[in-house]
Amino acid sequence: MVKKVLLAGESWVSTATHIKGFDQFPTVTYHTGADTLLKALKGSEFDVTFMPAHEAQRDFPQTIEALSGYDAVVLSDLGSNTLLLHPDTWVHSKPTPNRLRLIRDYVGAGGGLLMFGGYYSFQGINGGARYRRTPVEDALPVSCLAIDDRVEVPEGFSPVITGPSAHPILKGLGTEWPLLLGFNEVAVKDGCEVLATATADYGSLPLLVTGTYGKGRSVAWMSDVGPHWLPPEFSAWGGYKTLFEQMLAWATAHQ
C-alpha cells in the first residue's frame, strides 16, 4: 500500500556580492537539500510531496482534514516561524490557524511525525528554529534546548547503535555506520526509545529517538539528510535508503 508523506523544508536562497576591482554585482542562488533523500525514496512505498520552505509558509495545510490526507509529515530544516507566519498574518494582519497546534493534534489523532536535524530544526542556530515549548515539541519524543543546539563535529563521528538490531528502524543496518559531521542536541523524554547516539566524547547525546503521542508516532533524527552534517559517503552507503524508509515505515505502521 502506498503511503503519502509531506516533506516540508530543505530549501534556501543564497545571495553573494562579487567584487572585481572597482566593479561589483550581486547574484542569487536557490538550493534544495532533500534531493538525495527524494531520489532514495523514489519508487518506494512512500509517495513523497516535497514542499520547499518558501512554499510551506503559504501552502502548508491549514486544517486537520488537509493534514490527514498524509500518513506522515516530515519537518526538515524548517523553522517554526515559517509555519506560524502565514502571509495573511505576516503581511495583512489577518488571523490564521496555528499550524504548530494542527501538527500536534494530527499526531494525537494517529498521524506520523518526523523531524530531521539541521540549522533550522529543533531549536537550531542561535535558537532560531524555536520549537522549544511549542505544540510540535509536545508531539516529539525529545525536548528542545533553550539555546543554540548545534553540535558541530568537523572531525566526524560514527553513530553508536544502542537499540536492538531487530527494531524495525534498525533491522538490517548493522552497527557500523558512516561518519556524520554534526547534529542537534536535545533531551529525551521519559518513555521514549533511543536507538542511536553520538560517541562518548560528545556525551553519548541522542541521535535517533522514537516515541508516541496520543494515537500517533514520532521520530526524531538529530543529524541531517544531506550536506553538510551528512556527507556524501553516508548518502552513498547502502543503508541510507533503508534507514529513512524504515523510519517512515515505523512512524506509519500503526495506521
Q: Say whether pLDDT at 176 is over 80.
A: yes
What pLDDT sits at residue 99?
A: 98
Look up the CATH number of the domain holding residue 123: 3.40.50.880
Let me know the angle formed at the C-alpha of 72 by 66 and 74, rounded to the nearest 5 degrees. Answer: 100
Q: Say whether pLDDT at 255 is over 90.
A: no
Q: In terms of residue numbers, what domain contains 78?
A: 3-252
Mean of pLDDT over the chain: 98
What pLDDT sits at residue 1?
A: 87
What pLDDT sits at residue 254?
A: 77
pLDDT, one tens digit per residue, over 208-234 is: 999 999 999 999 999 999 999 999 999
pLDDT, one tens digit per residue, over 119-147 is: 999 999 999 999 999 999 999 999 999 99
Total tally of structural domains belonging to the chain: 1
